[in-house]
Homo-oligomer: A and B are copies of this chain.
Amino acid sequence: MGALMPVTAYTQLCNHVREVALLSSMESTLSWDQETYMPPRALSYRARQMSWLSGKAHAMATGRMMQKLIHQAQMAKLPEAKMTANVRVIAEEFERNARIPNRLIVEESELTAHAKHAWAEARRTSNFNLFAPHLEKLIGIARRKAELWGYADEPYDALLHAYERGTRTRELAGLFAKLKPELTRIAHAAVEKSRKVKPGLLRGRYPLEKQKLLNAEVAASIGFDFQAGRIDTTTHPFCTTLGPRDVRLTTRYDEADFTSSLFGVLHEAGHGLYEQGLPEDDFGLPSGRACSLGIHESQSRLWENHVGRSCSFWQRWLPRAAEYFPHLKKLSINDFLAAIHRAEYSFIRVEADEATYDLHILLRFDIERRLVSGSLAVKDVQEAWNALFQELFGMTPPDAAHGCLQDIHWSMGGLGYFATYTLGNLNAAQLFATARRHKRIATAMDRADYAPLLTWLRENVHARGGALLPGEVMQLATGKATDARHHLRHLHARFVA
């Protein structure tokens, strides 16, 4: 048998990888159905369907055929840079997977199954001791994986890499160190300023059906394509992609406050616009998927916070909202903005406002890093958490449920994940500031017309897909790697000035 033509080798690899993506997309579809419409008694059979698909996808993604196809494509002289990048990323991921022995995967999945239960029970009873032994084991596994994967400076690098390829702990720590004093000052000022704002200014009756109509109008107006997506209702909002033209968002409703679902939809639609803007023809390949969690989160935060909480946005949408909810007519735009910019210290991350949110992340990054390096023992987590919380927020969680037990991430083995939320905030501010430098984009935005902004994001972020590193995408789009300056400036302008 002669050598393959270079492009044939590449195409064969791509076909294989696309087939894995096809299987995963079916799993996503079944999972979406499970979260939205599936009747409860269907659960156990659904689990069997999904485990069949994930088993098949895993076997294809890690098998010998994959190895052979990667090798063939690596040997080939490929004519396009995109091809080379795709092969590189596919090979890297294959190698990372290949380094983890099957028994470790099994061990981890058994452990997390138990850990999730234990965590839920520990949180319910606010008893960290119930969760501590599981956390101990989870960190043990995380460390073993880090050793198998390898890292540059410290084991945490390897964990971070799973969510934010190529990002070093040291760089991140540097960024966060710069943020910390500034953020605490801004948060403090914002909370002080907010004392003048009456709480509950927006409370009222907002019928669910009308919220849905308004949300759909808003999502469509920022460019979300309902011919290639939809919005449904779930307890925990999410955005999931079931195919190259099939992006499903979900939100939840508070009948007493329409902004809860609206900002939720803007956030998820930000994720959705990114997914809808990825190169359709490359679906399933690195070049056809999102770059990283930190880039993904930059899109949701950009639309939720920079666009959705801006004055010009509400100059257009408050009058429209008041047509659905007439009691809003008596609210001035300034009162409305004051209400949605109201900041306060709170214990729970997912309920935190824009001004205090990142403090929650800084805390988690610090604790996680010390846990993984071994400089913090599991038994001391609650104490360390509370001490750091006191330092950052000036108050101490009343119990573990409001402190170190509040998040599900660790129980799922998701160490290294939290940092991407703040990276998202930093990237959002930086991308937004860069885009706004174009007069045409800024002028349109002042009229709440976001088409030019979306076009810019499409070209500079979305169309670039995921074969590049997040740092490369930021560099290409803004001329610089991720930088804390823009986010701080934004927060200062909104919450202090």
List residues of A whose CB falls within 8 A of some B CB. Answer: 19, 22-23, 25-26, 29-30, 33, 37-42, 44-46, 48-49, 52-53, 225-230, 232, 242-246, 283
- 11 A-B pairs within 8 Å (CB atoms) are namely A26-B26, A26-B49, A26-B53, A37-B37, A38-B246, A39-B227, A39-B230, A42-B243, A42-B246, A45-B244, A45-B245
Q: Which residues of B contact A26 (CB under 8 A)?
A: 26, 30, 49, 52-53
Among B22, B39, B246, which residue has its beta carbon within 8 angstroms of that of A39? B246
Nearest Cβ on chain B to A406's Cβ, whole angstroms: 31
Which 8 A-B pairs have CB atoms at the shortest separation, nearest pair first?
Answer: A42-B246, A45-B243, A41-B245, A41-B228, A41-B227, A42-B245, A42-B243, A26-B49
Nearest Cβ on chain B to A289's Cβ, whole angstroms: 14
Nearest Cβ on chain B to A212's Cβ, whole angstroms: 13
Nearest Cβ on chain B to A127's Cβ, whole angstroms: 33
- Counted per complex, copies of this chain come to 2
Cα–Cα, bound, A404→B48 (Å): 45
Nearest Cβ on chain B to A348's Cβ, whole angstroms: 32
Q: Which residues of B contact A230 (CB under 8 A)?
A: 37, 39
Nearest Cβ on chain B to A291's Cβ, whole angstroms: 22
User: Which single residue of chain B is at the shortest CB-CB distance from A245?
Assistant: B41
Given A26-B53, A29-B49, A37-B230: A42 and B242 interface contact (C-beta under 8 Å): yes
Cα–Cα, bound, A480→B252 (Å): 55
Determine whether the beta carbon of A49 is less than 8 Å from that of B37.
no
Cα–Cα, bound, A45→B284 (Å): 12
Cα–Cα, bound, A136→B31 (Å): 44
Cα–Cα, bound, A48→B26 (Å): 10
**A contacts with B: majority SS:** helix
Cα–Cα, bound, A25→B242 (Å): 18
Q: Give 20 new A-B contacts, CB below 8 A, not counting A39-B227, A42-B243.
A: A19-B52, A22-B48, A22-B49, A22-B52, A26-B49, A26-B52, A26-B53, A33-B33, A37-B232, A39-B229, A41-B228, A42-B228, A42-B242, A42-B246, A44-B245, A45-B243, A45-B244, A45-B245, A45-B283, A49-B243
Q: Which residues of B contact A226 (CB under 8 A)?
A: 39
User: Which single residue of chain B is at the shortest CB-CB distance from A46?
Assistant: B243
Nearest Cβ on chain B to A57's Cβ, whole angstroms: 12
Cα–Cα, bound, A49→B242 (Å): 10
Determine whether the beta carbon of A41 is less than 8 Å from that of B242.
no
User: Which single residue of chain B is at the shortest CB-CB distance from A243?
Assistant: B45
Determine whether the beta carbon of B41 is less than 8 Å from that of A225.
yes
Cα–Cα, bound, A33→B232 (Å): 13
Q: Which residues of B contact A33 (CB under 8 A)?
A: 29, 33
Cα–Cα, bound, A244→B45 (Å): 7
Q: Which residues of B contact A244 (CB under 8 A)?
A: 45
Q: Which residues of B contact A29 (CB under 8 A)?
A: 29-30, 33, 49
User: Which single residue of chain B is at the shortest CB-CB distance from A27?
Assistant: B26
User: Which single residue of chain B is at the shortest CB-CB distance from A247?
Assistant: B39
Cα–Cα, bound, A239→B211 (Å): 31
Nearest Cβ on chain B to A466's Cβ, whole angstroms: 18
Among B30, B49, B53, B246, which residue has its beta carbon within 8 angstroms of that of A45? B246
User: Which single residue of chain B is at the shortest CB-CB distance from A43?
Assistant: B245
Cα–Cα, bound, A428→B114 (Å): 50
Cα–Cα, bound, A228→B42 (Å): 6
Nearest Cβ on chain B to A147's Cβ, whole angstroms: 38
Nearest Cβ on chain B to A34's Cβ, whole angstroms: 10
Determine whether the beta carbon of A49 is less than 8 Å from that of B30.
no
Cα–Cα, bound, A242→B246 (Å): 21
Cα–Cα, bound, A26→B39 (Å): 15
User: Which single residue of chain B is at the shortest CB-CB distance from A26?
Assistant: B49
Determine whether the beta carbon of B283 is less than 8 Å from that of A39.
no
Q: Which residues of B contact A48 (CB under 8 A)?
A: 22
Q: Which residues of B contact A39 (CB under 8 A)?
A: 226-230, 245-246
Q: Which residues of B contact A227 (CB under 8 A)?
A: 39-41
Nearest Cβ on chain B to A393's Cβ, whole angstroms: 42
Q: Which residues of B contact A228 (CB under 8 A)?
A: 39, 41-42
User: Which single residue of chain B is at the shortest CB-CB distance from A19?
Assistant: B52
Q: Which residues of B contact A22 (CB under 8 A)?
A: 48-49, 52
Cα–Cα, bound, A156→B30 (Å): 40
Determine whether the beta carbon of A25 is less than 8 Å from that of B37.
no
Cα–Cα, bound, A497→B368 (Å): 82
Q: Which residues of B contact A40 (CB under 8 A)?
A: 227
Cα–Cα, bound, A246→B37 (Å): 11
Cα–Cα, bound, A39→B22 (Å): 18
Q: Which residues of B contact A46 (CB under 8 A)?
A: 243, 246
User: Which single residue of chain B is at the shortest CB-CB distance from A227?
Assistant: B41
Q: Which residues of B contact A23 (CB under 8 A)?
A: 52
